[in-house]
Amino acid sequence: MIGRLNHVAIAVPDLEAAANQYRTALGADVGAPQDEPDHGVTVIFIELPNTKIELLYPLGEASPIQGFLDKNPSGGIHHVCYEVEDILAARDHLIATGARVLGSGEPKIGAHGKPVLFLHPKDFNGCLVELEQT
């Protein structure tokens, strides 16, 4: 069901410092910051030959990323994102197998302009999983 790895998301306490580190120390192609108010984050994507890194920074006081950073002040890996061809079919299959979909269970539009869902980390070995429709 899952396709390729779309991105690995890293929550960071200082977005510009993290972007600069990838740009200067690693020579990466670093995109511009983009606010995603529906998800409570500002993101920067780093393009790699085989996938992307997504830097996450809290946007607003209700950001879910702030809670993560409160527990992990230096930041850290927040989630992995896999591509799926049909997000509704994937959701229905996962629910049928006992996995929990976070939120209302209805896809939201993600940072790439495509439908996304998040799966409970307790159902995936402690890893928050994002699914993005291709």
Active site residue ranges:
130
Q: How far apart are CA 115 and CA 86, in angstroms?
A: 10
How many helices (DSSP H) and strands (DSSP E) are in the chain?
3, 9
Contact assessment for residue 9 and residue 81, using Cβ atoms and an 8 Å cutoff? yes
> Using CA atoms, how far apart are residues 57 and 41, in angstroms rounded to an integer?
5
* Tokens describing residue 63: 């950001």
- CA end-to-end span of the chain: 12
